[in-house]
Chain A
Amino acid sequence: MRFSPLHFLLLAAPFAYANEALDVLEGKIDANSIILPPREIPEGEEAEQERVENIIYLPPEWAPSPLDAVWSRSVLYDNSANPFIQQFAVAGQYDFSASFGKAETIPSGAIPARNTDLDGTRSRRARLGARILAFNNTEIEAMGEFAGDTQYRGVERLKAYTQVSETTGVTLGKFRPNFGTESRIEPSLSPYPYRGTLTNMVAPPAALGVSIHHAGETLDYDIGWFSSDFDPDFGSMDRDGMFNLSVSRTFVERTGDTLARTKWHVDYLHNFDAGRSNPQGYDLAGRRSANGNQLIVQNPAYRHLFSVGVKMDSDSSSFSGDFQFAKGDSTVWGLTLGATHWLIPGTLNLVGRYQYAGTDDPRGIVAAPGNSGDLRYDASPFFAGDEYHSFYLGTNLHLYKDSLLIRNGVEYMILNDEVGNSFNTEAFTWQTGAQLSF
């Protein structure tokens, strides 16, 4: 029997391992053939230490699709070696929607019944702009809105986000302040035809401002200042403006086989110019509501806006929740809950949303059901009340990824007027629409 190094090793096992090291250095035995003893665990240390896993959630990818070659043409220039501009792409969105239904105002006492027709079609959004990646650290977005009337059409956004350091970035220009779960979602990626009623009523749209973003160990912070002067193009920055503070936390959880990413946020917006400015942008003062012919004396003005919400995403479904509270001339509050689920992954998405809004002020809630949704776009007809409920259930058919889709859904709205003259209204509408974005 030929003696191999292993035999010597076994014989020499009880002795110190230093001899083995010497033999390896002298080339007598191969380093790989030495079996090391188990690691000596010093006293006090756990026998089995839990390895902290840093899980990253990656959303499911889109599979290749026949129209990829057409959509990739939106990137006009792509060269990461260029020190000035790395990428230039055109971006746009066209959203056409139609609604069919009516709102019924239930008679109460001397108040007669009133029906409001909610049929209509409109180009809800027609946007064209560009996205530029520049100086290896800056992302510039410019978007012009061409739909709607003069109060709506204009510069939808013009902003530049510069990554100053690994954890800090600055955004400058005209953009939406961080308020609410829905304001953080790009409109072309929203599963619903329009943002919630309370968001449309209290959240300011894009305004000139600056915001600093800092990603901490566990929490992310955003601090910003915005102009309170609404203008379809660029407002003035004369007045005191609005202060915006936002704290958010993102974490990834594993339940069995599936991963889910959850993002919590807390937003606060303080309007120093409440009462002498109109950052929301819509103008209802002097107009009458369609349900009870109630007169809106002045546009709602809020000084404090507070929102806490959550967004959970997993492979096949998502959930969003948002509680909002606004205090100024009147006090309004509300809760929005939304959920989506892929019936056919990538093709058919089932979406649902429940909204609640309440106020202690009669006519404190203004809603525009049906086609409009956004008071700034087209507030006719609009309804006023103090307790609002809405249920939306629909399906989105994705023809081409997130860029070409057809929406269909039904919405049931209840708007009660408990504090005032009881102009309780119910509206049932079927909403359909198509969206193209790039």
Chain B
Amino acid sequence: MKSILLALALITPAFAVGFDTEGFGQRLNGWKKNRTAVYDFTDASYRTHMPTITETTDGGIYISTQVDLIAFGDAGAISHIDMTFSRGGTLLSAQLRSTIGRKTIDTGLVRRPEEPVPPVAVEGQPAPKAMPFNAAEELIIELFNRYDAEMRKVSEGKDAEKRDLFSRLGGSKNAKSANLAAGLRHNCNLMLLHVGGGAK
């Protein structure tokens, strides 16, 4: 019994995909003692917390990162980026959630898209070019399309937020004027760069 288990353990490949937390932190001004990184991105200040990494049942990893938009020392908008990778390092799904004041934006879980069926060549016509397809890129594009749509829904209503004089003069960006989506995209791209092991 024991030998069979040992054999199985040897046959099953070791945990193949990993996340380079140190490298990720380096790109964001370095991790501080309280496990956060504070940096500026397009005239707004952000704070990224050290990501939580959990192994999934099929040998892949699930990474969850919290990104705060800083306004006057406090978190103006709190966002979470969740990504799931396969054992080979392929991005399987992603989700974005943001809480801005009382409102919440949730893109829902976006799964890896299927590769499109290549167009059929017709006799007599030049062979159609197969469009390059990067599943991870398509996933991220779909994720942010949904995020922008949700953000539009939330901002469509009248601007019901009250800002006193000091808040207006203080010049800190709130979630609307800062390009929050760009800040989150920056974090997503860096997370994808620092996932190691296997093709994307």
Contact = CB atoms under 8 A, between A and B. Distances in A.
B166 A346 contact: no
Given A61-B101, A63-B167, A64-B167, A346 B74 contact: no
B72 A342 contact: no
Contact of B73 (A62, A69, A399, A401): A69
B72 A65 contact: yes
A14 interface: no
B36 interface: no
A349 B200 CA distance: 55
Given A65-B167, A66-B170, A345 B72 contact: no
Contacts of B162: 60-63, 342, 345-346, 401
B174 A258 contact: no
Given A64-B72, A64-B76, A65-B72, A398 B160 contact: no
Interface of A: 58, 60-69, 257-258, 315-316, 342, 344-347, 397-401
Interface in B91-129: 101-102
B158 A258 contact: yes
Nearest to A62: B162
B102 to A, nearest CB: 6
A400 B166 contact: yes
B104 to A, nearest CB: 14
A55 B170 CA distance: 35
A401 B168 CA distance: 11
Contacts of B159: 345
A399 B163 contact: no
B163 A345 contact: yes
Given A65-B166, A347-B164, A398-B164, 17 more contacts: A61-B161, A62-B163, A63-B71, A63-B161, A63-B163, A63-B167, A64-B74, A65-B72, A65-B170, A66-B166, A68-B72, A257-B157, A346-B164, A347-B163, A400-B164, A400-B166, A401-B162
A58 B157 contact: no
A241 B162 CA distance: 44
B165 interface: yes
A257, A345, A400 interface centre (most CB from chain B within 10 Å): A345
A66 B167 contact: yes
B71, B73, B101, B162 interface centre (most CB from chain A within 10 Å): B162
